[in-house]
Amino acid sequence: MQLIDTHVHLNFDRFEADLEAVRDRWREAGVVRLVHSCVEPAEFAGIQAIASRFPEIAFAVGLHPLDAHKWTDSTREEILALASSDSRVVAIGETGLDFYKADNKELQKTALEAQLFVALQLKLPVIVHCRDAALEMAGLLRDFWDRFGAVKGVMHCWGGTPDETQWFLDLGFYISFSGTVTFKNATGIQESAGAVPEDRLLIETDCPFLAPAPKRGKRNEPAYVRYVAEKVAKLRNVSLETLAAQTTQNACQLFGLPVTQSSEIPDGALKAAVARAAL
Ligand code: NI
């Protein structure tokens, strides 16, 4: 079984001490590819360094809406240049709107639109963060599509109702579920996870945040995407294997990731484990 964790932040301090062990666990869990998100362009070199250590990692570059205060006249050019500089870049983001406690909504929209332009120009998908802003987001995207053309993308760590989910499906987006879908009170999210068409469904951890049940409250890590997969499979009445195969194919499709041979990563992990045991 192969899984793809479509949203990770492994460059955060909380992974510094034990990233090799974290890697061993994701390989054991069947995670064959990961998409590393980016909250500001200053992270780029650090993310590149991590991807150089772990070849299954592809990554994005962008500015998170909660960092919108860092947006300047040159940020668009910076993101464009970085995204063009490395063939491992598979997306622009994460960008979006976060209106929970926001006092800079217009600036967030400016940064989002500019990043949509970069994505359009480079024919890359966008990774979209959307909190308390589904209506404004759908309106902004519809308007952008009408004026300039559609951009591919994913609503990441999705927390919307089935109605809101449909708005973004209609815009052509993929919908990605994280550990929040496993939380007891998450009935709206669970309903959405059951309703997304199988060819638009993705899974992620958004680690180190939002660890799924039964790891809730702990540091999240890519291996736990398996708990997300198990929960979403149950909600959709399909087997874990079916869910894994479908979401892996979708992630490869959206991000242009190479499809892996079934034994490619697990064999490597096995050899590494054998080598460690022999020491
Ligand atoms: Ni994120």
Q: What is the DSSP letter of 260?
A: P
- pLDDT tens readout for residues 140-193: 999 999 999 999 999 999 999 999 999 999 999 999 999 999 999 999 999 999
Measured in Å, residue 44 CA sits from the centre of ligand 1 at 14
The order of strands in the sheet holding 57-61 is 3-8, 31-36, 57-61, 89-98, 126-131, 153-155, 174-177, 201-203
- pLDDT tens readout for residues 56-112: 999 999 999 999 999 999 999 999 999 999 999 999 999 999 999 999 999 999 999
Measured in Å, residue 172 CA sits from the centre of ligand 1 at 21
Measured in Å, residue 274 CA sits from the centre of ligand 1 at 34
Measured in Å, residue 211 CA sits from the centre of ligand 1 at 13
Measured in Å, residue 173 CA sits from the centre of ligand 1 at 17
* ∠ CA 24-34-165, rounded to 5°: 130
Note the pTM of the prediction, 2 decimals.
Answer: 0.92
